[in-house]
Amino acid sequence: MTDSDVHTLTGPYVLDALPEDERTRFEAHLAECSFCTTEVAELRQAAVKLATQVSTPPPPALKASVMAAINDVRQLPPQLPVVESSPKVRRFTRRSMFALAAAALAVAAAGGVAVDQYQDRTAAERANQQMASVLAQPDAHTVHGTVEGGGQATIVLSTKADKSVVVLRDLPKLPADRTWQLWMMDPSNKATSIGLATGDITQVVNGSTTGMATFGLTIEPPGGSPTPTLPAAAVVPLT
């Protein structure tokens, strides 16, 4: 391994994927290289951000609403053997029917939240795995750029995986009628939109690395634009 190759180990190091000898050498390199130290910190921040999305606590009011609905439902008495000679039919009052309906709605709401949380958790886990696959590639490299008005854009790319990870942090707050739009541009400056953001994000981009020369960030109306509005807030060469 050459001295220049050691700079490419930031991704595997963050994922604890280096053999012991390479890890020792890279940590010695970190003590002398402020660029790699910054890059490791940024990649760890991105990984932690994705990992924390895997666990999503339920809304604080959910338990209270479920318990309140249950408290309104009258508990049934112990079930006694049915005596056929004196059958009794249980009649439900309007109040008990409303209470049962409220409990059912609360349980349904809880189930809906659980489904939403499962879907969000699954999506976050998938994004985390995709990011790890990019960082672990031997050809992964990182580029940085500043955002007009403040903020930083970091892009990790792998031609082998044909994926990239975009990390935007400390972005300026936009008016309510504006949004950030992310772009990949080829050498002829033909732009392809890769998503929208209202603030800091960590985003895995699939299939938008090969043949691309520049990452761009622009300010657009809600819903985005078909082409970038210039001047761009950030233009970052990918090489």
Task: List the CATH number of the domain containing 239.
Answer: 2.60.40
Residue 27 lies in a domain: no
Q: Quick one: 107 and 192 in the same domain?
A: no
Please enumerate in sequence order all residues whose Cβ is within 8 A of that of 47, keeping only pairs 6 or more positions apart, or say none: 14, 15, 128, 131, 132, 135
Structural domain tally of the chain?
2
pLDDT at 172: 94
Q: Quick one: 69 and 104 in the same domain?
A: yes
Q: What pTM, to 2 d.p., does this model score?
A: 0.56
CB of 35 closer than 8 Å to CB of 143? no
CB of 195 closer than 8 Å to CB of 220? no
Residue 23 lies in a domain: no
Please enumerate in sequence order all residues whose Cβ is within 8 A of that of 172, keeping only pairs 6 or more positions apart, or say none: 147, 149, 150, 151
Structural domain boundaries enclosing 209:
137-239
- Tokens 């930031």 found at: 10
Q: Quick one: 145 and 91 in the same domain?
A: no
For 143-162, write each residue's pLDDT tens digit.
899 999 999 998 988 888 88
CB of 204 closer than 8 Å to CB of 165? yes
Which of 1-5, 37-41, 125-129, 151-155 is the most confident on average? 151-155
> Region 31-46: what's the mean pLDDT?
81
